[in-house]
Amino acid sequence: VTYLVLDKATEETAWSEMYARLCRKMMEQISPDVRDDGIKNSEGKPMPIAGGQLFLKYLLSRCQKDFERGWFSKEATAAAKASRDQATEAANEKKDTTEAELYSNEYYAAQKAKRQGLGLIKFIGELFKLQMLTERIMHECVKKLLGKVENPEEEEIESLCQLLKTVGQLLDTPKARAHMDVYFTHMKKLGKSTDISSRIQFMLQDVIELRERKWVSHNAFAAPMMIAAVHEAV
């Protein structure tokens, strides 16, 4: 059940908050009779876990595994790029090539992996907002995604932007302000790098400006006016 919910959450990003709430409800209501006596601690001693804590352990273990794996391996990325290049070359030689022939199975697999990767990041953020993950874990995630400032990978930068858009306001507390300042200093440096695409540069700039606006999105300014406000404006 844990893996099924996680798979749905990463596939249906628009419903990440709902799936996180579902996980919270399951954690609170699962029977304490559900237990796993085979779990051991770091010293190899039995450490039985039951009920909601067992569900949470399975959920977070899967999240950690998928997060550390990233969107997809470099080999898969290279294969997808090679397939696209080959398809494009074939299209240049054959003008009537259909659109379906331009993209290989590897390309679609890579796009699915990207969608699921960003979905996982947003879901992790929603779990944190429901206090199912600690602030320390969130900072570790940010640090990992910012770990290659000198040699950035776009998938990690995009994941970073997604994570900060989801939980940035909650992390940006007086207690953690120094850490956040360091993160955004690195992000500003990345935004000026010629090693990343303009799309990623704009994405970084959007998050930087979001923090400068005290985490108030543009949509908040575009909220519909109340009828009374409309009459006053007239």
**For position 83, what pLDDT does the model report?**
57
Task: Judge whether 208 and 188 are in contact, CB under 8 Å.
Answer: yes
Q: Looking up tokens 């006016």, which residue turns up? A: 225
CA torsion angle 69 72 78 80 (round to 10):
170
* pTM (2 d.p.): 0.75
Q: Residue 135 and residue 168: Cα distance in Å, rounded?
A: 11
C-beta of residue 130 within 8 angstroms of C-beta of residue 21? yes
Q: Let me know: does 71 contact 155? Beta carbons within 8 Å.
A: yes
In one-letter notation, the amino acid at residue 8 is K
Distance of CA 103 to the CA centre of its chain: 25
Residue located via tokens 């910012």: 146
pLDDT confidence of residue 74: 45
Report how far residue 52's alpha carbon sits from residue 35's, in angstroms, rounded to the nearest whole number.
Answer: 9
Topology classification of domain 134-218: 1.25.40
- Residue ranges in the chain whose pLDDT is less than 50: 74-75, 78, 95-97, 101, 223, 230, 233-234
CATH code for 1-132? 1.25.40.180
* pLDDT score recorded for residue 16: 92
What pLDDT, on a 0 to 100 scale, did the predictor assign at position 81?
55
Q: Which two tokens stand for residue 26?
A: 């399951």
Q: Is 143 exposed, middle or buried, given 0-12, 13-18 or 19+ CB atoms closer than 10 A?
A: middle
What residue ranges of the chain are covered by domains with CATH 1.25.40.180? 1-132, 134-218
Q: Which of 167, 189, 170, 171 is nearest to 179 (CA)?
A: 171
